[in-house]
Amino acid sequence: MAPEPEPTSNPSLNPNVETQSRGDQTMVEPQQQQQQQQQSSSSSSQPQPDESPASPPLPSRHTALTPGPRASRFQTTLDSALSHTLAKISWDNFAACYPHIAANAPATLRAVQSQMVDRLRSLCEKEFDSVQQSRNVVAKLNELESLVSEAERRRKAAGVGAEPPIPPHMLPPEEVLDAHLAPHLAQQQSQLNAKLQTTQAHNARLAEDIQRQRAEMASLVSLLEKLLEDVDDTNRMMDDVGDDIARETRTIEIEMAGV
């Protein structure tokens, strides 16, 4: 009877080689995906020449980043699905795949199985988190929560015998367009109202300054008119005095000429 080969002589039965190859394969795939995401993000972030001026985007609805009931349930479902999937890589199933190694080196095989499960769990959780962040899952689920609560509030406000609303796909294009533009137009209207109030307040201050300056100008004009009247009175007085001086001067010249 031929001797049984050692566990490490066959690469296919070596747990370290198999684990390393599987680990390298599982590590290469996320790295390739991350490189593709980085390339796509870098290509999208590079500035491209605009052929025509684009219209500004519609304002986004404010949503909380804290996970709501649906987001929490979604995360719980992901964790549960991952746990059930990794539960298939149990020690019994793993040992059944490698019975010889499980019989001769159970501690090594158990360590390999534990490392593989932990590695797969870490990679899956990172991938789930990356998808949730790239797709903005939490914010969208929270927005769905707000839409459902708003629809429930409107249904209760309408009453039991109220006519059901028209489905969105049955509305005319004009109403759909108005509904989409309403938030953007409301935001622009609030901004214009704020600018209008600021301009009106500024104009009111300017009007007060103009009124004050006009009052100062009127006081200065009245003071100048008084000064001009004083100058005219002084000129008239100087005219009378000048005539008297001229007569006296002529009289003195005649007397001196007679001497």
Contact, 115 vs 19, CB < 8 A? yes
Give the per-residue pLDDT at 33.
Answer: 52
One-letter amino acid identity for 132? Q
**Number of neighbours of residue 102 by Cβ within 10 angstroms:** 19
Q: pLDDT at position 43, please?
A: 45
The pLDDT of residue 72 is: 92
Kindly tell me the burial class for residue 79, based on how many C-beta atoms sit within 10 Å of its own C-beta (0-12, 13-18, 19 or more).
middle
Rounded distance between C-alpha atoms, residue 213 and residue 217, angstroms: 6
What token pair was written down for 4? 């049984």
- pLDDT at position 159: 78
Identify the DSSP state of 48: -
pLDDT in tens, the chain (259 residues): 334 334 444 433 343 434 444 444 444 444 455 555 555 444 444 444 444 444 444 444 545 568 889 999 999 999 999 999 999 999 999 999 999 999 999 999 999 999 999 999 999 999 999 999 999 999 999 999 998 898 888 888 877 777 877 888 899 999 999 989 999 999 999 999 999 999 999 999 999 999 999 999 999 999 999 999 988 888 887 777 777 777 788 888 887 877 6
**Residue 144 amino acid letter:** L
pLDDT number for residue 246: 77
The pLDDT, as a whole number, for residue 118 is: 94
Q: How much is the pLDDT for 24?
A: 45
Can you give the pLDDT at residue 82?
A: 94
Pick from 197, 198, 191: nearest CA to 59: 191
pTM: 0.42
Cα–Cα distance between 184 and 84 in angstroms, integer? 46
Rounded to whole angstroms, what are the CA distances from 232 to 90, 201, 222, 227, 237? 119, 47, 15, 9, 9
Question: Contact at 8 Å (CB) between 104 and 14?
Answer: no
Helix residue ranges per DSSP H, 67-161: 69-87, 91-97, 99-104, 106-135, 137-158
- Tell me what pLDDT residue 194 has: 95
User: What is the C-alpha separation between 156 and 41, in angstroms, rounded?
Assistant: 45
**Percent of the chain that is helix, strand, coil (3-state, to 5):** 80, 0, 20
How many CA atoms lie less than 13 Å away from 124 in the CB half-sphere?
16
Per-residue buried b or exposed e for 121-149, using 16+ beta carbons within 10 Å of the residue's own CB: eeebeeebeeebeeeebbbebbbebeeee
> What is the reported pLDDT for 212?
95
